[in-house]
Amino acid sequence: MNMNSSDDLVKYLGVPLKHGRLTLISSVTSAIPTYSMMTTRLPSSVVEGIDKMNRRFLWGGSAERQVPHLVSWEEVCNPKRYGGLGIRSMAKHNAVLLQKTAWRFLNQPDSRWVRPFKTVYRVHGDPLHWRNRLFTNARRASLGLSTSSSSIACGHPVEDIGHILRAQNIWNRSVPSSRRGAFYSQDLQEWLQDNLSASSNSQAWTIHFASAVWNLWKDRCRRVFDPADHSNDESEAWMNICSSANELIRQKTKPAMDSSPIHTVAWSPPLNSFLKLNTDGASQGNPGVAGAGGLLRDEMGHWGVRGSAGVCSSVAAELYAIRMIYRLHGSLDIDFRHTYREGNFCVDALTNMGCSLEDDLMIFQSFPPDVSALLEADSRGLAFPRLN
């Protein structure tokens, strides 16, 4: 036909194309690699190269001729209803196709294309089944990769996955004392399955449990790989757990606005010209060594106190906390209201500190470092899930 081939997408076999650049990008260059992307994660250099070619062609440039790009590529790749042109980002397109293939692999196990993969690669049972293969120090030592199996955080002689994920100083903040014996002694796999089971637990607890397990493992990894940037503050670790759990609960319940809301609790500042006083008491045993704490704040300032309550029950310690603050500020008009621990974490920390005091009373002019992270959480209005 006396036509010359051309590398220019404006022509095909020498004939000018009628369709616009956007149509050509969507129907040709973005569509050609789709089949390979369904089963293979393309190298970043390849997907970036395709995006670069599409950007250049969209704005009329070439390898020899540079033209300005009037809109960022991220904006161009947005859906049309959000002001973009609907062009696919190759990296995201590749990830979505792989996730779609993985979903079909998990949910269509009897498909003809799935069975050969399971046979060749010996995939049997649940691919998400717990296999206890996380590289703790105990596992590394058993494989000859480390000379020590001790815990990085506390020096315990054996750092296995159970020791990491069942950190008592974290779990004691949310697990009632009556349940702790079974909670810490249960087989690890049963422990994970039981606490993640939606049939036997509330949605808030399963989300909180998963968030805590994930954050405990991340915290351990940060100790290993980034010790200079790691904080040993247990209150901060607990705040991170509750913050991520609260965000997951919010996202989980967001589409179903008519369903029963998950109960979250946060400290709220008082109105102008009012003071808010939080008190708490605790005993290490019932009865046992006890402490009490109080925190008086207005919308701008703060003040704290902690004290020793001797040896008594937790109820007596809480009553002691009220009496201690009343003796200091008995002339004030007081309106008593109850709040959960999740809205009273600062005073809860002061109370636990009070259990170790030798003096009966200690008043703070500035906050101790142990409660600074919790105070910041209160000031930001951070809410915590309430686990009944």
pLDDT of residue 60: 77
Contacts of residue 113, defined as CB under 8 A and 6 or more positions apart, other chains included, come to none
What would the pLDDT profile of 290-338 be if each residue is shown by its tens digit?
777 777 776 664 555 555 555 566 666 666 666 665 665 555 666 667 7
What's the average model confidence in pLDDT over 5-31?
Answer: 64
Preceding omega of 287 cis (within 30 degrees of 0): yes
pLDDT of residue 260: 45
Whether 59 and 66 have beta carbons less than 8 Å apart is answered as no
Whether 348 and 282 have beta carbons less than 8 Å apart is answered as yes
What would the pLDDT profile of 131-184 be if each residue is shown by its tens digit?
667 888 888 888 888 888 888 778 888 888 888 888 888 888 888 888 888 888
Domains, the chain:
11-101 (no CATH), 166-253 (no CATH), 266-385 (3.30.420)
Contacts of residue 269, defined as CB under 8 A and 6 or more positions apart, other chains included, come to 276, 297, 298, 299
Confidence of residue 257 (pLDDT cuts 50, 70, 90): very low
pLDDT of residue 98: 92
For 113, counting Cβ atoms within 10 Å of its Cβ (0-12 exposed, 13-18 middle, 19+ buried), the class is exposed
Q: Decide: pTM greater than 0.85.
A: no
**Does residue 18 carry a pLDDT above 50?**
no
Residue 243 dihedral angles phi and psi, to the nearest 5°: -65, -45
Mean pLDDT, all residues of the chain:
75
State the DSSP H helix or E strand holding residue 84, giving kind and residue range, or none if neither: none
- Three-state DSSP class for residue 240: helix
The amino acid that residue 28 corresponds to is V
The amino acid that residue 21 corresponds to is R
Contacts of residue 292, defined as CB under 8 A and 6 or more positions apart, other chains included, come to 279, 280, 281, 282, 306, 307, 308, 309, 317, 318, 320, 321, 324, 351, 354
Contacts of residue 180, defined as CB under 8 A and 6 or more positions apart, other chains included, come to 168, 171, 172
